Structure formats: C-alpha cells, structure tokens
C-alpha cells in the first residue's frame, strides 16, 4: 500500500469547565479558537477546536468540555502526552510565562536529542513544548504577547502508553507507513516521511501499567490525516483486512472521519483534509460564531441559552 497517512490531523481531549479551557488555550498558550461547535453526539456540550490561523491539519487540538465530569486518569491504552513544536531558545520565555500563570511544569529534559518542557493544563492534561532537531517552517498564530519567535507551531508528536507495543507498531508501520526512528529505554519513536512536521508518534511500553480512565485531563482519540476521501476509503479496506473493526465514513462538517480502536486500546481516527474550517466561516471570523451541524440546527435557540458564553 502507498504511504498515504500524512502525519497527525488532530487530537481530541476531554476538559471540565469550558471557560477555563478557553482561557488557557487562547490566552496562556496562545492558540487560535478556530471553531466553536457542539459535540455531535451530545449537543448540550461544546466541541472547541484550537489551532493555527486556518486550523491546519497537524495543529488542531480539540476538546469536549463537560463541566463537573471529574478528573480522569492517564494510563495504558490511551494517548498520554501531546507535544508541540516551539522555536529554539523559547523555553525560558515559556517557563517565565507559565510561572506567572501557576502552570505546573517539569524540569527541561532531553529525548532523542531534543529539548522537552513538560507541563499540565488546568485539567491535568499532559503536554510538552519541544525544540525539534529538524526545521519547522510552519507559520504560528501570534497574539499580542506571544510572537513568532516563541509561539507554538503545531504538533511535534504524540505519545501512546501501552502494555505492549508490538501490535500497535504494526498498525503504524504496515498500515500507516511509519518507520521506527529509534528507541530510548521503553520509548520507541516512529516517524512518517510523508510530511515534515506533526510526523512523530512515540510508543511508551509499560507492561505493568494500569488502564487509563477517560474524563477531564485525558485524551479521547488521536486523528491521522489523509488527503481525501478516496484515499481514506482505500485505507479503510486495508484496516478491515487486518481484522480490525472500523466505522463507516462519518461527515464531521470540517472533515470526514473513520474510527477504529488499535490493538493496544487507543482510539484512532482517519480524517481528511477537506473541506476545512472555512467552509462555514470566513478566515477572519473563525471561531467567533456558534456553528451547529445541520442535524442540530433546530436546537439553536435552546443551545444558545444552555451553552456558557465564552469571553
């Protein structure tokens, strides 16, 4: 099969309070809110998308904020870290900024020759800012106090924690076209050569690890990017041939999706580039309107009253 996966598309996580989530990601971390919509399966809660100016694939972090859901637990069978790419020399800026905001950080460490600053969001979600060894030419979203010499550029990588990596590794290599780049202790780094950025998946093998529990501060699924629906459906047939159960194609308004659970328990999504986030809002207005899927449009008046106003 041709190597048709183009790295990461988006990652979706669970949050508690929507305003707290919005404040952290747009103000403290400096991402753009590119879409404010609702959970297709639970329209009484938001689905918030953060990314670069356009919401480019490989920059999109999305959240289901359920107020009062309680704290989740990271563990095996889930994605346990989201790595953002940042410019060289920016870690000190972030340490000072996070210090002013009481963001929990760890000591700067090194992985595969790259400097890593790990931190937690207000719900306890594990993230990191990574200075890549390779050039990241993506144009970041800038804010009044976070400029391009320090701003995040999009995803560098994600980490999946597993009791055993072999079967998950086969999905990455045999179906997705990744290759093993290297190993450091129980961390195995896989990379795709189809894209320059958002190209890395780390598998962390923890044989005695406990299963994670999805709630606030945990990742719900990891989405991989394909160019279009034709490639997506070809890949679906390949996944079925490996005796993995996968959904039919689902229209998510801004991309088309397939979902399957890989052998290690992590929920994977295959998402298309098309049609993108400007399909229902102009570029300069992304994230400023409540956009509803057509099946929930009749609920607009009710949802306008129910959903908290983000300010």
Tens digit of pLDDT for each residue in 152-206?
999 999 999 999 999 999 999 999 999 999 999 999 999 999 999 999 999 999 9
Cα distance between residue 22 and residue 48, in whole Å: 8
133 closest CA partner among 172, 189, 186: 189
Q: State phi, psi for 201 to the nearest 5 degrees.
A: -125, 125
pLDDT, position 240: 97
Token duo for residue 22: 């919005």
Indicate whether 276 pLDDT > 90. yes
Confidence (pLDDT) at 3: 59
Half-sphere exposure of 304 (CA within 13 A, CB side): 8
What mean pLDDT do residues 47-70 have?
97
Reported as a pLDDT band with limits 50, 70 and 90, residue 4 is confident
Residue 154 token pair: 């999009």
pTM above 0.75, yes or no: yes
Vertex 307: Cα angle to 31 and 16 (nearest 5)? 60
Percent of the chain surpassing pLDDT 90? 98
**How far apart, in Å, are the Cα atoms of 163 and each of 65, 186, 210?**
28, 11, 8
pLDDT more than 70, % of the chain: 99
Residue 1 has pLDDT above 50, yes or no: no
Write the pLDDT tens digit of every residue in 82-133.
999 999 999 999 999 999 999 999 999 999 999 999 999 999 999 999 999 9
Average pLDDT estimate for 197-223: 97
* Of residues 196, 289, 291, 286, the one with CA closest to residue 252: 291
pLDDT band, residue 259 (cuts 50/70/90):
very high
Distance CA(201)–CA(271), nearest Å, equals: 17
13 beta partners: 63, 219
Q: What are phi and psi of 96, to 5 degrees?
A: -70, -40
> Which residue ranges form the domains of the chain, and what is each CATH number?
8-306 (3.10.180.10)
């Amino acid at each position: 099969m041709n190597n048709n996966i183009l790295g990461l598309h988006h990652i979706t996580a669970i949050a508690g309070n929507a305003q707290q989530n919005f404040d952290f990601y747009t103000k403290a971390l400096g991402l753009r809110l590119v879409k404010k919509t609702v959970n297709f399966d639970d329209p009484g809660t938001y689905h918030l998308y953060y990314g670069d100016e356009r919401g480019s694939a490989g920059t999109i972090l999305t959240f289901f904020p359920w107020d009062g859901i309680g704290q989740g637990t990271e563990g095996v069978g889930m994605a346990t870290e989201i790595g953002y790419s940042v410019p060289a020399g920016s870690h000190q800026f972030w340490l000072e900024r996070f210090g002013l905001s009481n963001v929990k950080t760890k000591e700067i460490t090194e992985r595969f020759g790259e400097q890593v600053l790990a931190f937690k969001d207000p719900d306890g979600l594990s993230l990191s800012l990574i200075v890549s060894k390779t050039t990241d030419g993506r144009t970041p979203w800038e804010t009044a106090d976070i400029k391009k010499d320090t701003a995040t550029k999009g995803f560098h990588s994600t980490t999946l924690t597993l009791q055993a990596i072999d079967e998950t590794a086969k999905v990455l290599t045999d179906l997705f076209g990744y290759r093993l780049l290297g190993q450091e202790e129980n961390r195995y780094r896989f990379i795709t050569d189809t894209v320059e950025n958002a190209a890395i998946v780390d598998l962390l093998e923890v044989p005695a690890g406990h299963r994670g529990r999805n709630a606030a501060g945990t990742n719900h699924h990891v989405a991989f990017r394909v160019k279009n629906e034709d490639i997506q459906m070809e890949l679906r047939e390949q996944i079925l041939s490996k005796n993995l159960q996968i959904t039919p194609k689902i229209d998510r308004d801004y991309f088309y999706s397939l979902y399957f659970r890989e052998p290690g328990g992590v929920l994977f999504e295959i998402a298309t580039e098309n049609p993108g986030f400007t399909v229902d809002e102009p570029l300069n207005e992304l994230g400023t309107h409540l956009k509803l899927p057509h099946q929930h449009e009749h609920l607009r008046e009710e949802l306008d009253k129910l959903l908290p106003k983000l300010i």
